Every structure is written in structure tokens, then in C-alpha cells.
Amino acid sequence: MSITVATLGFPRIGPRRELKSALESFWSGKSDAQALLAVAADLRAKTWTRQRDLGVDHIPSNDFSLYDHVLDTSAMVGAIPAIYGWSGGEVGLDTYFAMARGAQNQDETEQAGCGHGHGLDVPASEMTKWFDTNYHYLVPEFAEGQIFALSSTKVVDQFVEARDQGVDTRPVLLGPVTYLKLGKSKAQGLDPRTLLDTILPVYAEVLNRLAEAGAQWVQIDEPCLVLDLDKADRSALHHAYASLAKTAPAVKVMLTTYFGGLVDNLETALSLPVAGLHVDLVRAPEQLDVVIARAPAELVLSLGVIDGRNVWRADLERLLDRLEPLVAGRRDWILAPSCSLLHTPIDLDAERSLDPDVRTWLAFAIQKIEELATLAKALNHGRASVADMLETSRLAAASRRASSKIHDPAVAERMAAVTGAMSRRASGFGQRRAAQAPRLGLPPFPTTTIGSFPQTEEVRKARSDHGKGVIDDAQYESFLREETARVVRWQEEIDLDVLVHGEFERNDMVQYFGEQLRGFVFTKNAWVQSYGSRCVRPPILYGDVSRPAPMTVEWWRYAQSLTARPMKGMLTGPVTILNWSFVRDDVTREFACRQIALAIRDEVVDLEAAGAKIIQIDEAALREGLPLRRGDWKAYLDWAVECFRLSASGVADQTQIHTHMCYSEFNDIIAAIGAMDADVISIETARSKMELLDAFADYAYPAEIGPGVYDIHSPRVPAAEEMADLLKAARTRLASGQLWVNPDCGLKTRKWPETRAALINMVAAAKTARQSVG
Ligand code: GLN
Ligand code: ZN
């Protein structure tokens, strides 16, 4: 028996975000393609040798991407929508980036000093989240009569590139069934799965070319195997792998699944004619025994035992306790992270200023590979061969279990005292509305905004100067007060009804709160790719959460002191804070969320005590926390809604609670949205032309709604008539008395000129609507 180590993919962006700099420099025309490709090749070379030096036996290639691996797959099979003007042959960088980012016409791009547009004026492909991660991929788009042809040899080239550097790699491909399922078609009734027979020859060609170049194994990712599949999906999988086994017999396929358990798809996975199977034992540890019991003896199993989705150090001895009895048999085993390490930061060594205790509990991509190497060594040569490493791991686990930084008895006591009544408002919506209306004195179709106003160059500069110590606290504070005063005055001038303070003091809607709560740490360099060159540094929620002091009350008080109109208190909700953080793995998500909810509740109560009549609790990320399997939705929605209510229900009837969600699919979660029991919800509806209000109408949503009347994702300024028309469309679905008037989302990414013009038009549209109700 022998135990080897695999990784399934490594972060691409580079330890100092070298790829980001190279891409952005290329896009702005400051450097050429050759410079970009040189940086990319250098990152790949370093990543390969680093993994080899760390003891990885199965090193991936083709996990690298200049933008996105799903886009790479579209390039590989030549699925390039006609608008990009591609005429066959190798997909070049200009086509590739036009799909990724859109392209402007020649004149404009030349003005911007960039010659890559080639006369195109096309939007980017649609982008959406990769399973339940915060990584975004470009959605493949298939045409009527779609044909496929090998149009990028990147996977073969990069295998050869590594081979020439003396590194034998296992190329990674996104599998044909998952790829097709992620795609869409504008053609009526075209089911992408029917394209399987057309796409398989391209996959076979790629596999055969890889075999010729010397590849023995190829990792084919089929994460769709952890989703709810229907019969057609399963037969697509059977058909695909039976066909590839015939047409490309020379390579061994490591069929790779992640982000969950196989459950009812286990049978399917085990019956495919492949040489190996990778399973996620972090999300679904319980599947280990059944996979082993049922797997044919010759199937090579790859065990995803180290968490590729989170930042915690593993308890290696506990893992060994579990693994040792299993691997005593004759099989060969592969140990791996649960999924690609794409979703973790690269190297903890780059993080010098973290709390030293918290630091010992963490493991980023590099450290996770070290953990795997340690496990493999212990299994191959006995625990004594890695005694030091195991000792360090044991001490870290013990310190984490016992640390007073994590376990706060006061929080435990509060959690134990939570009652069901705490997540219920005193009265139903009807009574609350009656208590709120006279205090607020709002006209029909009241106007408001979602919270943030443009984060201008000056705002960002002041923040960064303050961070660097160039300006002191007092200077920064007075700058922010001026900005706030200006935006309050301006909102009065254009006659908005419910005002906001503009959120100039906030760097980010989660970070701003995390930094003031106990239980979170923030990193300096722990970047994770979100899409293309964009990276985020999620907060790390490591311990019990509490709120040592009010977080927003002073800013609210100041802003309200400037106006007689109602000023909204503005908070981020517990579910959103949770979903946009790395979360502790020693308690359930539900448990952690409830603690955050209690902290936000304290803030809500304090805002009310300070005089706030309206408090908005944003839940921008509630929907994206939905589990991958439908069967798990209810449990999630139950606790998520309960946590929101816990945060919102500490106030009296007369205090109006708003929530905001910036997305547009509500059909399948409308009951949960109703159960949140907010007095007012603002949502994104402009792009769907109010169609999604149907969900609210069908549900007979009782409370008030602010359907976004303009899309804040583009600088375009809609005319007042256009917004008035949208309001009319809204009124065919909901009662006039239910409707508020607001943009789709916050305005922080917009510039002032378009913001001014659009909001003035928006107020005009509301006034037009008011005339019709007298
Ligand atoms: N209040 C936040 C803002 O306006 C909401 C942002 C969001 O929903 N993403 O910026
Ligand atoms: Zn929003």
C-alpha cells in the first residue's frame, strides 16, 4: 500500500497578487501581451516547483487561468457567442478578454490608450457564482446548432510547459457534463445537455493529445455530482464517460467531486468507467465508509480530508485516528484537499500582524499542503516519522479548544437565554404600520436610497491617508462629517423623503461591523479570487461574537441632527456578515449566526433608543447562502430567517424595520422572505422590469416593498418617465400603498453626476405616481 498526496488546483492570483497587477496593466494598455504572459508563466513555474518541494505527488496543471477556468473551457471547445466576432482558429487574448470583460469600440479604446478592442463594442458574458462559493465564473452560452471544435490548446501547452521544467503534472479539466449544465442558451427550449455528443469529440481529442504528450492521469472535475440530478443528468454522465473510455483509452481519469457528498449519486459515480474517484470528506465526512465499502477494488480513491474552503488548521492526529484503520488494506490511496485550493488564501507566512494565537489556528493553501504531506508520511512511515508536526498540530488544536479568546462565558449565557419570543415583533404588520405611519408622516410612494452614496476618489484617499497616518483621527472625522452633511443637505434639496447618511465612514458593509465586533480578525494579505483580477479578503470569524460598544449610533445621531426628515439607521444583517466571512468550524453556522444576530440586535435597540424611527438591516447575501441541495434549503432558511428576526425584533411596534436584498430571484424563497417580517423590503427589480414582483403578488406579500426603479450597475441615467413606467408596472402587481421608490442598491460604485441626475428623475417619477392616487 502507498499513500500519495494530490492537490486539485492552486490559487492563481499569486502571493502578491502579481496576476492582478499584470492583468490590469495589460488592460489599461500600460503593458503588452508578452509581459502579461511572462508573469503568468512565472507564477505557474513557481507554483509547480513549490508544490513539488512540499511533497505533492499529483501536481495539477491547467488549474491556472488568466481569468476563469469555465471561460477557458469555453475557449477550449470553441463555444464563443457570435457577438464576439470570432471566426475560428485559436481563441486569442482579445476574444478571451472581450468575453470576460466586454469590449469598447475602437475609438473609445484608443482614447483610453488601449488597442485591444479590435473594433468590437460588446458586453461581457454573464457572470455568476461558482456553486456555493464566492468565486464567479463566466456562464457558457450556446447557440442554436452549436458546434464545438478544439480552439485552445492551453491544457496541452501547460502540461508540456511543466514537463519541460521537469515537473510531471496531472492536467485538470472541467468535465463535459458539469460544463454543459453550467451553460445557458438563448435559443428557445435548447437543453445544453443535448449537446453532449457534439462536445465529447473535443474532450476526446484533448485527452488523446495529453496522452501523446505523456500525461498518465487527467483530473476531470464533475462537481455536478453533488447536486440534485435527474435521470437525464445521470445518463449524460454514463454516456460521457463510457464514450471517453472508448475514444481516449490511453489516459486514466480521476473523476473529481467536491462541495458536498455524492449521496443518491454515489451509484452513478461508482459505475462510471474511470480509474479514480475523488470525494469531499470535509463537507461530507460520513460518505467515507460507504464509498470504501462500495468502490470496486481497482478504483483509486482520492480522499479530500483537508478543508479547501476554509482557513483552519486541521487536527492531524484526529484525522490519523480515522485514516489509519482504513488504509491498512492493500489499496493505494491519495490524500487531497476537499476541493481546489482556489478558495483559500495562499500563505499564512505572509500574514505577520495577526493575533499570534489566532495565527496558530490557521492554515492557508501552502500550510494545507504541508498538512497533507504530514498525513501521508505518518501513514507511510508511522507517526513517529512526523512527531514534531503532529505535536504542533495537537497543541494548536488544544489551544483553540480552550482559548478564552474563542469561548466567552458571557456570550454563552446570552445564547442560552434566547427565547422564541425574542425573534417575534410585539404585533403583526397591520398594527405596526398603524403605529409607524403617523410618526413618519410620509407621502404615498415615499422615496429613499439604499444607503451608500458615491465613494469618490477623495473619500477613498482620505480613508487610505488615515490608515497610513497621513491624517489623524480628528482630521479624518471632520472630513467624514463634512461629506455626510453635504449628502444630507443634498437629499433634502432634491426632496427625498427618507434620508441616509451615505456610509462614507465604511470601507465595506461587512468589514466595518466585523472590525467593531469581538470574534473577528482581519488579514492584510489573505486575498481570495472573486472574479478575474478581483480579490477579496474575507473576515475570519474565529470566536464568540459580541458587541463591546455601539457601532453606528454616533454617525446616525450626527446625521439625524442635520435634518428634520427621518434618517435611516443602517446595518448589515447577521446572515450577510456570516456568509461573507470565513466561519469557525468548531460550531455550526447557525450557532455562529445567532451570536452575530444578538450583537446586531444590541445595535438596533441602541439606534431606537437614540431616536431612530427607521432602521434598515441589509441582508444582501441571504440568498447566496442557500445549500446546493434543495432538501437542505428549508433548514437553512429557517435559521437564517430566525437570525434576521432575532436581530430585528428588539424594537417597539412604532419603529420601522427595513431590509434590503440586491438580487432578483425570489420565486423559490418568497415564503422565507415573508417570514422575515420586515416592515419594508427593498429589492433589485429594474433590470427585470418589475416582473419579479409577481412572486410577491402571488404570495400576497402583506408589507411594504421598494422595488428598485433604476439599475445602479451602470452609469446610465434613466429618464423620469422610464421610472414612472416601472412604477406603473409595479402597481399592476401590488397595492399603491405598499410601494416605496428607490434605486436597486447602494450608490457607492457610482459617480456623482449620474447619481444626481438619476435621483432627481426618481423623485420626479414618484411625484408623478402620487398625482394619480390624489
Ligand atoms: N446599505 C448598503 C449600501 O447601500 C447595501 C449594499 C448592498 O446591498 N450590497 O451600500
Ligand atoms: Zn444591494
CATH number (domain holding residue 496) = 3.20.20.210
Q: What angle do CA 639, 640, 643 make, to 5 degrees?
A: 80
Give the separation between CA 97 and CA 100, rounded to whole angstroms. Answer: 5
Is there a single domain that holds both residue 657 and residue 715? Answer: yes
Quote the pLDDT of residue 166: 97
**Residue 290 is placed in which grid cell?**
460507504
What is the separation, in whole angstroms, between the first and last Cα of the chain?
83
Residue 325 or residue 19, greater confidence: 19
Closest-CA residue, ligand 1 atom 4, reads 746
Ion ligand 2: residue ranges with CB closer than 5 A: 620, 662, 745
Distance, CA of 685 to CA of 691 (rounded, Å): 7
Judge whether 22 lies within some domain: no
Q: What is the DSSP string of 397-452?
A: HHHHHH-TTT--HHHHHHHHT--GGGGS-SS-HHHHHHHHHHHH-PPSS-B---SB
**Residue 19 in domain:** no
Number of DSSP helices (H) and strands (E) in the chain, helices first: 28, 21
Helix 409-416 / helix 589-610 crossing angle, nearest 10 deg: 90
Task: Output DSSP code: residue 139.
Answer: P
433 belongs to a structural domain: yes
Q: What integer pLDDT is reported at residue 409 of this predicted model?
A: 98
**Residue 33, domain member (yes or no):** no
Burial class (CB in 10 A: 0-12, 13-18, 19+), 451: buried
The pLDDT of residue 763 is 98
pTM of the model: 0.94
Q: Do residues 374 and 227 share a domain? A: yes
660 lines ligand 1 (CB under 6 A): yes
* Residue 107 predicted with pLDDT over 70: no
Specify whether 190 is located in the same domain as 308: yes
Whether the Cβ atoms of residue 259 and residue 318 lie closer than 8 Å to each other: no
Q: Are residues 588 and 687 in the same domain?
A: yes
Task: State whether 388 and 452 are in the same domain.
Answer: no
Q: What average pLDDT does range 500-508 have in this prediction?
A: 96
CA of 225 to the centre of ligand 2 (A): 32
662 and 685 belong to one structural domain: yes
Q: Is 745 in the pocket of ligand 1 (CB under 6 A)?
A: yes
Domain co-membership, 168 together with 237: yes
> What's the mean per-residue pLDDT of the chain?
95
Mean pLDDT of 90-98: 97
Report how far residue 480's alpha carbon sits from residue 462's, in angstroms, rounded to the nearest whole number: 9
Number of domains in the chain: 2
- The 10 Å CB-count burial string (b at 16+, else e) for 14-35 is bbebbbbbbbbebbeeebeeee
- pLDDT tens digits along 211-259: 999 999 999 999 999 999 999 999 999 999 999 999 999 999 999 999 9
Ligand having the closest approach to the CA of 750: 1
State the cell numbers at 47. Answer: 507554483
Of 370, 402, 434, the last residue of a domain is: 402
Confidence at residue 666, expressed as pLDDT on a 0 to 100 scale = 87
Q: Do residues 522 and 421 both lie within one domain?
A: yes
Q: Is 70 exceeded by the pLDDT of residue 608?
A: yes
All three cell numbers of 578: 456570516
Pocket test for ligand 1, best of 745, 747, 750, 759 (most atoms within 8 A of CB): 745
**CA-proximal residue: ligand 1, atom 3 (nearest):** 746
Question: Do 392 and 530 fall into the same domain?
Answer: no
Rounded to 5°, the CA angle 173-290-312 comes to 65
156 CB near ligand 1 (under 6 Å) = no
122-135 average pLDDT score: 91
Domain end marker among 378, 402, 426: 402
DSSP H or E stretch at residue 273: none
The closest of 279, 278, 276 to 297, measured between CA atoms, is: 276
Cβ(180) – ligand 1 distance below 6 Å = no
| Residue whose CB lies within 8 A of the most ligand 1 atoms, among 452, 512, 742, for a mutation test | 452
Q: What is the pLDDT of residues 316-361, one digit of tens each?
A: 999 999 999 987 776 789 999 999 999 999 999 999 999 999 999 9
**Domain co-membership, 200 together with 224:** yes
* Cell numbers for 729: 408596472
Establish if 134 belongs to a structural domain: no
Three-class DSSP category at 252: strand
Is there an atom of ligand 1 within 6 Å of 597 CB?
no
Cell of 401: 479548544
Q: Which atom of ligand 1 is nearest to the CA of 662?
A: 8
Give residue 105's pLDDT.
55
- 487 located within any domain: yes
Three cell numbers, residue 29: 494598455
**Residue % of the chain over a pLDDT of 70:** 98
Query: Nearest C-alpha to atom 7 of ligand 1 is from which residue?
Result: 620
| Ligand 1 center to 455 CA (angstroms) | 12
- Final residue in a domain of this structure, among 352, 367, 402: 402
What amino acid is encoded at 409 in this protein? Answer: P
- Report which bound ligand comes closest to the CA of 749: 1
Strand-pairing partners, residue 567, are 499
Is the pLDDT score of 755 beyond 80? yes
Q: Average of pLDDT values for 445-454?
A: 98
Rounded CA gap, 582 and 309, in Å?
Answer: 8
Quote the pLDDT of residue 691: 82
Residue 662 Cβ inside 6 Å of ligand 1? The answer reads yes
Ligand nearest to the CA of 616: 1
Q: Is residue 79 part of a domain?
A: no
552 and 470 part of one domain:
yes
Note whether 335 and 5 are within 8 A (CB): yes
pLDDT in tens, 706-722: 999 999 988 899 999 99
H helices of 11-164, in order, are 18-27, 33-54, 69-77, 93-101, 106-111, 154-164
Task: Tell me the C-alpha distance between 16 and 18, whole Å.
Answer: 5
3-state SS, residue 499: strand
Q: For residues 171 and 158, what is the distance between their CA atoms, to the nearest angstrom?
A: 8
Verify whether residue 501 is a known catalytic residue: no
Indicate the helix (H) or strand (E) that contains 184.
strand 184-185
Query: Which is the closest atom of ligand 1 to the Cα of 450?
Result: 4
| Residue located nearest, by CA, to atom 9 of ligand 1 | 620
Please name which ligand lies nearest the alpha carbon of 573.
Answer: 1
Nearest to 654 by CA among 421, 420, 427: 427
The contacts of residue 615 (CB under 8 Å, 6+ apart) are 568, 569, 570, 571, 604, 607, 608, 648, 651, 655, 656, 657, 658
Does any domain span residue 355?
A: yes
- Nearest residue (CA) to ligand 1, atom 8: 620
111: pLDDT confidence band, cut at 50, 70 and 90?
Answer: very low
Range of the domain at 225: 3-12+45-68+143-402
Instruction: Among 660, 663, 712, say which to mutate for ligand 1: greatest number of ligand atoms within 8 Å of CB.
Output: 660
**C-beta of 623 in contact with ligand 1 (< 6 A):** no
Ligand nearest to the CA of 706: 2
- Say if residue 478 is in the same domain as residue 605: yes
> Do 649 and 607 meet the contact criterion of CB atoms below 8 Å apart?
no
Give the distance (Å) from ligand 2 centre to CA of residue 745: 4
Q: Is 382 exposed, middle or buried (0-12, 13-18, 19+ CB in 10 A)?
A: exposed
Question: Which atom of ligand 1 lies closest to the CA of 449?
Answer: 4
Cα–Cα distance measured from residue 134 to residue 528, given in angstroms and rounded to the nearest whole number: 9
Q: Is 741 helix (H, G, I), strand (E, B) or coil?
A: strand
pLDDT for residue 117: 40
pLDDT tens digits for range 154-176 = 999 999 999 999 999 999 999 99
Nearest residue by C-alpha to atom 6 in ligand 1: 746
Across the range 506-521, mean pLDDT stands at 96
* pLDDT for position 119: 59
